Amino acid sequence: MSSIIRWEPAREMMTLREAMDRLFDDAFTRPLSLSSNAWSVPAVDMYQTDNEVVVKAALPGIKADEVQINITGELLSLKGEVKQENETKEKAYHIREQRWGTFERSIALPTQVVADKAKAEFENGILTITLPKAEEVKPKTITIKTR
């Protein structure tokens, strides 16, 4: 014999607080990525001085020879691949958040640069790219002559 349960639509709806709790729980307990082996784009800072544009990209655990830098017009592209370590059958992972696979990031530069004179340095997982500005966009100082 089965009992009849009265359907109450209000019980089925999630409260706003429950929805927010679930959203924050999902956001902070699950790593964000495009797919299981894709690496999300590297974090980038970009600023400019009077003479140059500087781009800093965070690439922890990556070797300098695993990164390719291209400049096409006013677009800077960073590409690379992080190879996965050899799998060992004896391991039983509890958490696995380290990223591996390919990554790519394209950034529009704020001004024209001289790509041939660009410099790139890699230290402690931070790639720093220094791009000299083109002469025509550098600020000019005009001296005023007095009589």
Looking at the structure of the chain, the number of domains it has is: 1
This prediction has a pTM of 0.62
Looking at residue 74, what is its pLDDT? 86
CATH of the domain at 115: 2.60.40.790
Looking at residue 28, what is its pLDDT? 57
The separation between CA 79 and the C-alpha centre of its own chain, rounded to angstroms, equals 11
C-alpha separations of 26 from 6, 23, 67 in Å = 32, 5, 31
Domain with 43, as residue range(s), is: 36-85+99-137
Residue 69: its H or E element: strand 67-72
Q: Is residue 44 part of a domain?
A: yes
- By C-alpha distance, which of 70, 74, 69 is closest to 110? 74
Model confidence pLDDT, tens digit, residues 18-41: 777 777 666 555 444 444 444 557
CA–CA distance, 40 with 101 (Å, rounded to integer): 10
Residue 11: its H or E element: helix 9-12
Model confidence pLDDT, tens digit, residues 99-122: 677 888 899 999 999 999 999 999
Q: Is residue 142 part of a domain?
A: no
Q: Is residue 29 part of a domain?
A: no
Q: Is residue 45 part of a domain?
A: yes
